[in-house]
Structure formats: structure tokens, C-alpha cells
């Protein structure tokens, strides 16, 4: 039986949309019928998810023209040529301006489909139906869409909000544990920048979370989405507080690019980035050492890596970080913490400090177990 556990509203100046969190929502025909306004639908997904869910969604929308586009959804495929495949399918199946795209998948499917929706005929409706933990707590909420370009992560994109986000907890049952853990990195991040009590709650509940106990998991997803929605509402296009959500990401994006989007999952790169950004906050903002230790312990409890891979060249890491979108007026901006739950923007961190930070990781780090790569 479909069961809605939570409902949230995201309100931006030009747009308002619901986030539904529940069980068996994909099997809830009345929900689909309420969400699809036109007569055409293009489901964009991967092979495994198409086999599991496409027929179910299609039968809920029997009155619509329903097309399914199966994509390869690895990070390496998140580029303009993949988005062009979505345009081609829409054009060949004669989709009009009142079509709706459904992004059923992880953050890669969501980012590419959202970007296609933003561009096709200058903007058509789309729904986010995230099926990874990372996409449920972060990527599907807030309207950032886009693709990687050359060595730069998410360089081409648009702010484009979905009509709704449908989070069906049951889709996570098939998600491999490594990807589940990767999603936990973004949960930990949002707690670190916006809600110290939530961080405390995560420390107390990480074990049942990793066992995917449904009520605990639903609460973690709800709290993460609510915190993100609150920030997006204040600053949809990242002129101010939304930048906090990039905590750890300047390091993470560069790490992903340098490892060819193959060695590290996005969430794993974020975990290493969180560790570096936390230590940097201690060096520059007097963040207490205990926060550094607690962050390392929580990430490790979530089975996430916390150290730079030994193959990473520090100079190359700095050069790749300089390509980051967050560079403004030639200044590298870092999100730092004054305290748990209190982020700030730091600028102009000298290269010598960053080298010291990277060396700290390799030399002095009290790593209790080897990283998982």
C-alpha cells in the first residue's frame, strides 16, 4: 500500500513545488495522475530502473503518450552528448511544449534530465523521482541541473525547478551499500553547515541508518530535504547562503575530475572534501579540534573515505580546484565552519596553507582504517 510519510513545500520567488516522501509512491496511480498536466510523458531512466518501474508508471498514465528513454547513467556519461540524446528522443517522438519529463534515477539522471527540460523548447515541465540516497537528500531538491564539461564538474547547466519531487523509499532496496554510504556524505554535510542538532542525531543513529531502518531513514531524508529547502528558499541562485551547500565540494569536484570520474563516487569525494574543509576551518576559523575528530569518526562510521588518495598530486589538485565554478573575481572561495551548524565563506586561502592541509592529511592524520580505494 502506498504510504506518504512526509510532505514538504519548496517555495522560490517564481515557483513552488512539493516533495513527497513515502513508501510505494511509484505504485500510486492517483499521484501520477495529479502530477502530469499534459498528454505527453518522457521517462528518462537507466536499464535496471526501467525494468523495475517503467511499466508501472506507464499503466498509471494510460491516457498519455508515454515514451521511455534508457540512458547510461555513469558520471563519465554526464555530458552534453547525453543531453543531446534526450533532445533527439523528444524531437523524434514529437513531444510538444506541454510534455513532462520524468527523471527516474540517481543524481546523474536527475541533473541531465533537468537540464534537458530547462532547454527543450525553452523549458518544459519535469518531475524528479530520485532513486539513490544522494539524489533523495540533495541532488533532486533545489533546481540545480547540468552536466560536466571537459575537466570541469557541472560547468554547463541551469537553475530549473521541478514540478515535484517524489521520494519513494522502497527504490533504495536495490541500491548497493557503497552508493548508499556515498549518499550519507551529503546528509552529514547538510547537518554540518546548517543544523548541529541534526549532526548529534546522526552520531546517535548512524548504525540503524546504515541498516536502512525505514522510519529512521525517512526522518534523515526529511530533515536533509527540509534544511536544503530552507536554504534554497532564501537563495535560489546561489548569491549568498546557498553557497554553504558547497562545503567540501571545491575539493570533491577537483578530486572527481583528477581521478577521471572513475575511482571515487561523488559522495566519497565529498566525504574527503568534508574532512579537508573541516580541518581548514580549524586552521583558519578556530573550529575546535573535537569537531575535526567527530567529523572523521562519523564519516568513518558511515564507511566513507576520509583521506586523499595517495596518487593525488597536490599541485594538480590545486590547479584543478582553480577551475571550480566557485572561483569569483579570480579568488578561490572556500566554505568554512565557525562552529558545527554555522558556515561562512572564506576567500583567498594561500596556496601554502592548502599545501600544509594536504600534507597534514598524508602525514599526521589519525586514520583508524585504510580508505576504501
242 binds ligand NAD (CB under 6 A): no
Q: Are 268 and 185 in contact (CB under 8 A)?
A: yes
Among 22, 26, 78, 236, binds ligand NAD (CB under 6 A): 78
For the chain, where are the alpha helices, taking DSSP H only?
Answer: 29-35, 47-49, 55-60, 80-92, 107-119, 133-134, 177-194, 196-210, 214-234, 249-258, 266-285, 289-301, 314-321, 351-363
Among 99, 128, 154, 300, binds ligand NAD (CB under 6 A): 154
134 binds ligand NAD (CB under 6 A): yes
Nearest to 81 by CA among 125, 123, 49, 116: 116
144 binds ligand NAD (CB under 6 A): yes
305 binds ligand NAD (CB under 6 A): no
- The residue among 239 and 352 lying less far from ligand NAD, judged by its C-beta, is 239
162 binds ligand NAD (CB under 6 A): no
- The residue among 31 and 175 lying less far from ligand NAD, judged by its C-beta, is 175
**Catalytic annotation, pick one of 246, 256, 279, 333:** 246
The cell for 182 is 556515498
The cell for 10 is 519548496
Measure the CA–CA gap between 49 and 223, rounded to whole angstroms. 26
Q: Are 191 and 185 in contact (CB under 8 A)?
A: no
Nearest to 153 by CA among 91, 225, 75, 218: 75
Among 58, 85, 179, 212, binds ligand NAD (CB under 6 A): 179
The cell for 282 is 580549524
Instruction: Judge whether 356 counts as a catalytic residue.
Output: no
Q: Which residue is nearest to ligand NAD (CB)?
A: 107
- The residue among 108 and 191 lying less far from ligand NAD, judged by its C-beta, is 108
Dihedral sign for Cα atoms in the order 45, 101, 110, 82: positive
**Catalytic annotation, pick one of 122, 329, 348, 364:** 122
The cell for 313 is 598530486
Q: Which residues 102-131 are close enough to bind ligand NAD by CB under 6 A?
A: 105-109, 111, 131
Residue 206: left (phi > 0), alpha (psi -120 to 50), or beta? alpha
- The residue among 73 and 219 lying less far from ligand NAD, judged by its C-beta, is 73
Among 8, 21, 66, 75, binds ligand NAD (CB under 6 A): 75
Instruction: Judge whether 7 counts as a catalytic residue.
Output: no
Instruction: Judge whether 246 counts as a catalytic residue.
Output: yes
Q: Are 298 and 275 in contact (CB under 8 A)?
A: no
Among 138, 195, 238, 324, binds ligand NAD (CB under 6 A): 138
238 binds ligand NAD (CB under 6 A): no
Catalytic residues: 122, 144, 186, 228, 238, 242, 246, 249, 253, 266
List interacting residues with ligand NAD (CB under 6 A): 46, 48, 73, 75, 78, 105-109, 111, 131-132, 134-135, 138-139, 142, 144, 154, 171, 174-175, 179, 182, 266-267
Amino acid at each position: 500500500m502506498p504510504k506518504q510519510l512526509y510532505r514538504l513545500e519548496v517555495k522560490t520567488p517564481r515557483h513552488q513545488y512539493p516533495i513527497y516522501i513515502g513508501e510505494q509512491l511509484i505504485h500510486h496511480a492517483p499521484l501520477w495522475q495529479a502530477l502530469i498536466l499534459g498528454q505527453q510523458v518522457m521517462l528518462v531512466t537507466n536499464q535496471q530502473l526501467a525494468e523495475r518501474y517503467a511499466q508501472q508508471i506507464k499503466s498509471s498514465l494510460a491516457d498519455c503518450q508515454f515514451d521511455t528513454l534508457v540512458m547510461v547513467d555513469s558520471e563519465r556519461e554526464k555530458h552534453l552528448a547525453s543531453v543531446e540524446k534526450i533532445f533527439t528522443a523528444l524531437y523524434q517522438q514529437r513531444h510538444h511544449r506541454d510534455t513532462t519529463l520524468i527523471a527516474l534515477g540517481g543524481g546523474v539522471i536527475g541533473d541531465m534530465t533537468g537540464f534537458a527540460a530547462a532547454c527543450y523548447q525553452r523549458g518544459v515541465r519535469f518531475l524528479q523521482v530520485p532513486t539513490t540516497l544522494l539524489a533523495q537528500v540533495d541532488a533532486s531538491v533545489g533546481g540545480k541541473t547540468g552536466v560536466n564539461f571537459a575537466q570541469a564538474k557541472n560547468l554547463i547547466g541551469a537553475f530549473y525547478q521541478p514540478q515535484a519531487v517524489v521520494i519513494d523509499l522502497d527504490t533504495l532496496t536495490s541500491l548497493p551499500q557503497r552508493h548508499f554510504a556515498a549518499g550519507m556524505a551529503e546528509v552529514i554535510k547538510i547537518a554540518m553547515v546548517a543544523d548541529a542538532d541534526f549532526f548529534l542525531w546522526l552520531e546517535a543513529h548512524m548504525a540503524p541508518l546504515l541498516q536502512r531502518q525505514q522510519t529512521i531513514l525517512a526522518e534523515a531524508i526529511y530533515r536533509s530535504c527540509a534544511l536544503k529547502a530552507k536554504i534554497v528558499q532564501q537563495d535560489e541562485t546561489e548569491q549568498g547562503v546557498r553557497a554553504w551547500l558547497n562545503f567540501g565540494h571545491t575539493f570533491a569536484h577537483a578530486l572527481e575530475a583528477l581521478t577521471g570520474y572513475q575511482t571515487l563516487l561523488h559522495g566519497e569525494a565529498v566525504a574527503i572534501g568534508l574532512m579537508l574543509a573541516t580541518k581548514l576551518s580549524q586552521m583558519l576559523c578556530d573550529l575546535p579540534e573535537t569537531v575535526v575528530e567527530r567529523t572523521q569518526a562519523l564519516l568513518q562510521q558511515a564507511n566513507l573515505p576520509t583521506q586523499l588518495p595517495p596518487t593525488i598530486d597536490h599541485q594538480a589538485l590545486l590547479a584543478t580546484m582553480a577551475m571550480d565554478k566557485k572561483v569569483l573575481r579570480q579568488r578561490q572561495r572556500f566554505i568554512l565552519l565557525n562552529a558545527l551548524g554555522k558556515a561562512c565563506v572564506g576567500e583567498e586561502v594561500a596556496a601554502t596553507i592548502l599545501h600544509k592541509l594536504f600534507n597534514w592529511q598524508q602525514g599526521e592524520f589519525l586514520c583508524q582504517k585504510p580508505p576504501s580505494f
